[in-house]
Homo-oligomer: A and B are copies of this chain.
Amino acid sequence: MTAPMKPGQRVLFALRKMIVSGEIPDGARIAEIATAERFGVSRMPVRTALRTLEQEGLVAKLGRRGYAARGVTPAQIDDAIEVRGVLEGLAVRLIASRPIAPGFARKLKAVLAEGDALFAGDGFAPEHVDRFYSYNLAFHDLLLDASGNRAIGVALARNNHLPLASAAALALDWDDLANAREHLKAAHEEHLAVADAMLSGRADDAEQRMRRHARAALNPGVMPLVGPV
């Protein structure tokens, strides 16, 4: 699928991927002209892409000498995951410390029911992973929305650009679907526990569980399923 993507988006995604993958090594200078020629586009999309990447922290401005790539180390991903846990923890804390809106409770139950259905049987196919992906995303989005604090989502926006740092990134072993099922089932049970804590008004508990949930998302040495970043 050679998607006829617009030049701007294409350059942005390509540069982002090249930086996080290490194809552009840490500290390498990125010049507008050279990059533009490399992609066969004008300097303009490169410029806007570099501005965006600067906001995301993936490149650093170098005075008049252009930009420099900032390599993404595993430690930085860990850092971003920790930040995500803290921010999502704040979201659930806010929800739990206020009266639960009926609409929210209903939507939450509906989302969790998707997860329940996923693990009702014993089987697990790649298709289930896709469904979990949707369910997982819906769960986290719902919490972010229900928190009523838009600043959380704004602050989180950057982390989602780092691989494995967003809630949409599932780390699992594709060669061992049974193991993957256990992994995702554990995540679903953490969701249930967080939901229970929220609905019971146990704000501290909900926050703690959400933080641990974020940290548990990263397993070393597994294949990531990356969604739209």
User: A interface vs B, CB < 8 Å?
Assistant: 47-48, 51-52, 55-57, 76, 79-80, 82-83, 86-87, 89-90, 94, 148-152, 154-159
Contact = CB atoms under 8 A, between A and B. Distances in A.
Nearest to A154: B57
Interface centre among A48, A83, A90 (most CB of B within 10 A): A83
Contact of A152 (B56, B79, B94, B151): B79
Contact of A90 (B48, B82, B154, B157): B82
Nearest to A80: B151
Contact of A52 (B51, B90, B158): B51
Contacts of A56: 154
Classify the interface of chain A: helix, strand, loop or mixed. Answer: helix
A65 B52 CA distance: 21
Given A48-B51, A155-B155, A149 B90 contact: no
Given A83-B90, A155-B155, A155-B158, A150 B55 contact: no
A83 B87 contact: yes
B90 A155 contact: no
B159 A82 contact: no
28 contacts: A48-B48, A48-B51, A51-B51, A52-B55, A55-B55, A55-B157, A56-B154, A57-B150, A57-B154, A76-B150, A79-B148, A79-B150, A79-B152, A80-B151, A82-B90, A82-B149, A82-B151, A83-B90, A83-B152, A83-B155, A86-B86, A86-B87, A86-B90, A87-B87, A151-B159, A154-B158, A155-B155, A155-B158
Contacts of A76: 150-151
B52 A151 contact: no
A228 to B, nearest CB: 17
Contacts of A57: 150-151, 154
Contacts of A154: 56-57, 158
A94 B154 CA distance: 23
